[in-house]
Amino acid sequence: MHLLLGIGNDLLGDDGVGSYVAGELRDSDWTVIDAGIVPENFVRPIRNYKPDTIVIVDAVCMGCGPGSIRIIPPGYIRDQGIGTHQLPLIFLIEQLSFGPQVIFIGVQPGCLDPDTPLTPPVLVAATRLLSLLKSHAYDTLPVLGQEEKKE
């Protein structure tokens, strides 16, 4: 079973991309949780689902152009301090690493201003990501840090 955990604050523009993806992925073959800004509150329910794969989607400042999508390896989360939530995201990922494969997907935000909608590049990225999730082809996304090594 595949579980998607959407993270984000939809009151801060592109920071809401994880919640947006979660909302749009409902009625698919995924189990979906929109965790908002407190993903750590969902560790027990996620464990109860016993998923084979957990995909986490959140806005992440990666130094890419707005709307860029990357799989983020755990080392980047730990080393770069990625996460703007109550607890560091590496803590959440470690709590979810009880057996399932955990994949963290970041979308580069363009605007994090209060009371703004998703920007066009992030909305396009979210639509692309939804297509990849629905076809279970999300593992074709580039991995942060590895795209530079290919050159």
Alpha-carbon span 107 to 56, nearest angstrom: 11
From first to last of the 151 residues of the chain, give the pLDDT tens digit.
999 999 999 999 999 999 999 999 988 899 999 999 989 889 999 999 999 999 999 999 999 999 999 999 887 775 444 554 555 777 788 888 888 899 999 999 999 999 999 999 999 999 999 999 999 999 999 999 886 544 3
**pTM confidence score:** 0.90
Q: What is the homologous superfamily of the domain 2-140 according to CATH?
A: HybD-like (3.40.50.1450)
Contact call for residues 100 and 112 (beta carbons, < 8 A): no
pLDDT of residue 149: 46
